[in-house]
């Protein structure tokens, strides 16, 4: 999503007996509409706080989102307040302003009602952030049966539901803090203050998840729960359906930084070592100048004899193929990966052997060229990755994908388990996308298929 005019948000801070939740929502509102930060158009951001955050106020605001957004919109929904679980019926709900133990039946917002509203939003890119107690229960069990949304997404977008804590945990505001811990970390990443230096042109939902999952438990554990005398335990939870990484903030000044890198390096392109050349190519990719990056690699004197550069070139053409479904870039990608594999084999470079072999298996399958070649390259990739000394998500993900091609699904699960233990959200997303494409091409695209359920639970939760 590139246009700020298509970015929408609904921010809810209930207040009532949690007055800081109003500050949470208001601070996020100020950050989103700041033209130097997220840059959302003010008319596209709905703020519902305090006495406006009643049951009717929340549901009516969701209806407004339904009316004003379309398939090209991105939608951010944020809730800060109480979350509850009706124990006798095992039902989850949000507690709007004015809800009490006496009037709950007419004042609460049930998870089923949220599901119905979210299903009705036309957007293909939705992020739902829950900063409340019992938030994981809402994410895992409450927001079920989003069939309309799941069917609508297909391969065109993403749905992310991120909760501030596990089902049996509290969502904390730490001593002397202005905002809740979850929202404090959310504001940092939305503002681009989650890493120094931050050079990317956008903050995406994977940036948000990576920062929150790292910082919330770490900061919570440094404080003591006065009721138990133990360190506070707060661990966020995420569940998502995706094929696209949703952009939440834009940073035009970082585009200028990448432009400066290109201005510095491009005139000396023939003198650059491999690391400098890759830095130049990365800057071009950030600016959407992939075709220029391809042209540089195709004409650079180092490329034809370098497995790493040929692998990058093959991946650039693979991206074009997957975006367009045009056969030609897929076939060109195939040839570059073959050349890279040939060089890597001569040099006994096991990492480049498995990287290029798994790409070849993938391309032979999707281009519908030869199942025999698919199995050949999958076997080659598996053995090269297995023999590669250094463990990594990339290694175990390659072995998992290779096992799908070879119909060794239990072994595939073993390796995806190992990969997920070591991988961040962004890497797990990429592993899922390739595994899903391979499995549904070879076997079954039924969402209730046990292996697809495994992939979803292991890599997208």
SS (H, E, C) 126-174: EEEEEECCCHHHHHHHHCCCCHHHHHHHCCCCEEEEEECCCCCCCCCCC
My answer on whether 227 and 180 are in the same domain is yes
pLDDT score recorded for residue 332: 97
283 within some domain: yes
d(CA 242, CA 105): 34
For the chain, helix (H) and strand (E) counts, in that order, are: 19, 11
d(CA 64, CA 252): 30
My answer on whether 232 and 297 are in the same domain is no
CATH number at residue 163: 3.40.50.1460
345 within some domain: no
d(CA 183, CA 204): 16
My answer on whether 271 and 162 are in the same domain is no
Among residues 191, 224, 250, which one ends one of the domains?
Answer: 250
What is the signed CA dihedral for 100, 102, 103, 109, rounded to 10 degrees? 60
Kindly report the pTM of this predicted structure.
Answer: 0.75
pLDDT score recorded for residue 90: 56
44 within some domain: yes
Around Cβ 85, how many Cβ atoms within 10 Å? 19
Shortest CA distance to 334 belongs to which of 360, 309, 308? 360
**Number of domains the chain is built from:** 3
374 within some domain: no
d(CA 369, CA 355): 20
pLDDT band, very low/low/confident/very high, at 252 (cuts 50, 70, 90): low
My answer on whether 54 and 104 are in the same domain is yes
My answer on whether 42 and 181 are in the same domain is yes
d(CA 371, CA 332): 19
More confident residue, 353 or 106: 353
d(CA 315, CA 98): 55
Among residues 213, 231, 250, which one ends one of the domains?
Answer: 250
444 within some domain: yes
My answer on whether 96 and 145 are in the same domain is yes
d(CA 214, CA 348): 37
307 within some domain: no
My answer on whether 297 and 410 are in the same domain is no
d(CA 405, CA 384): 15
24 within some domain: yes
Backbone angles phi, psi at 325, to 5 degrees: 65, 15
Domain extent, residue 273, equals 252-301
My answer on whether 235 and 245 are in the same domain is yes
Length of the chain: 461
pLDDT in tens, 289-344: 889 999 999 999 899 999 999 999 999 999 999 989 899 999 999 999 999 999 99
Residue 67 near residue 44, CB atoms below 8 Å:
no
On the question of pLDDT at 13 being above 60, the answer is yes
My answer on whether 287 and 212 are in the same domain is no
pLDDT band, very low/low/confident/very high, at 141 (cuts 50, 70, 90): very low
Among residues 208, 235, 250, which one ends one of the domains?
Answer: 250
My answer on whether 87 and 206 are in the same domain is yes
d(CA 35, CA 32): 8
Q: Which of 38-47, 86-95, 292-301 has the lowest mean pLDDT?
A: 86-95
Angle between helices 274-286 and 307-324 (to 10 degrees): 20
My answer on whether 149 and 258 are in the same domain is no
My answer on whether 293 and 256 are in the same domain is yes
Coarse DSSP helix, strand, coil percentages of the chain, rounded to the nearest 5 percent: 60, 15, 30
What is the Cα Rg of the chain in Å? 24
321-329's contacts with Cβ under 8 Å and 24+ in sequence apart are: 321/363, 321/366, 327/367
Write out the two tokens for 147. 């069939």
pLDDT in tens, 198-222: 777 788 888 898 899 889 999 999 9
208 within some domain: yes
Write out the two tokens for 385. 């990755």
pLDDT score recorded for residue 158: 66
């Amino acid at each position: 999503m590139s246009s700020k005019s298509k970015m929408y948000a609904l921010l809810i801070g209930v207040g009532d007996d949690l007055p800081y939740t109003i500050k949470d929502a208001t601070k996020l509102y100020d950050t989103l509409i700041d033209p130097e930060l997220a840059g959302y158009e003010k008319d596209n951001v709905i703020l519902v706080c305090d006495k406006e955050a009643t049951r009717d106020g929340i549901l009516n605001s969701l209806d407004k989102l339904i009316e004003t957004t379309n398939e090209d919109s991105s939608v951010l929904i944020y809730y800060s307040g109480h979350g509850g679980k009706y124990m006798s019926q095992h039902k989850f709900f949000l507690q709007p302003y004015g809800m009490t133990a006496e009037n709950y039946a007419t004042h609460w917002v049930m998870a089923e009602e949220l599901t119905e509203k979210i299903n009705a939003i036309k957007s293909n890119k939705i992020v739902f952030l829950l900063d409340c107690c019992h938030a994981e229960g809402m994410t895992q069990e409450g927001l079920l049966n989003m069939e309309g949304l799941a069917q609508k997404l297909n391969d065109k977008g993403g749905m992310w539901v991120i909760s501030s804590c596990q089902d049996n945990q509290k969502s904390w505001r730490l001593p002397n803090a202005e905002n809740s811990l979850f929202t404090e970390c959310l504001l940092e990443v939305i503002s681009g203050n989650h890493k120094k230096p931050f050079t990317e042109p956008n903050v995406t939902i994977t940036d948000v998840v990576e920062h929150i999952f790292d910082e919330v438990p770490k900061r919570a554990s440094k404080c003591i729960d006065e009721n138990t005398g133990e360190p506070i335990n707060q661990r966020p939870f995420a569940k998502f359906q995706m094929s696209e990484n949703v952009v939440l903030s834009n940073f035009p000044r970082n585009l200028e930084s990448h432009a400066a890198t290109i201005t510095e390096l491009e005139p000396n392109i023939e003198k650059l070592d491999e690391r400098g050349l890759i830095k130049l190519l990365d800057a071009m990719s950030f600016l959407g100048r992939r075709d220029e990056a391809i042209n540089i690699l195709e004409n650079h004197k180092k490329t034809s004899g370098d497995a790493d550069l040929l692998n990058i070139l093959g991946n650039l053409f693979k991206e074009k193929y997957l975006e367009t479904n045009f056969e030609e870039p897929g076939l060109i990608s195939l040839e570059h990966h073959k050349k890279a594999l040939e060089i890597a084999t001569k040099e006994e470079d096991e990492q480049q052997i498995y990287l290029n072999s798994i790409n070849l298996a993938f391309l032979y399958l999707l281009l519908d060229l030869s199942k025999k070649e698919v199995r050949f390259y999958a076997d080659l990739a598996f053995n090269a990755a297995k023999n590669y000394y250094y463990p990594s998500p990339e290694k175990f993900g390659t072995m998992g994908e290779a096992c799908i091609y070879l119909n060794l699904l239990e072994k595939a699960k073993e390796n995806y388990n190992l990969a997920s233990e070591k991988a961040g959200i962004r890497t797990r997303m990429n592993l899922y996308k390739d595994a899903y494409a391979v499995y549904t091409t070879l076997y079954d695209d039924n969402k209730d298929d046990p292996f697809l359920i495994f992939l979803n639970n292991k890599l997208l939760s």
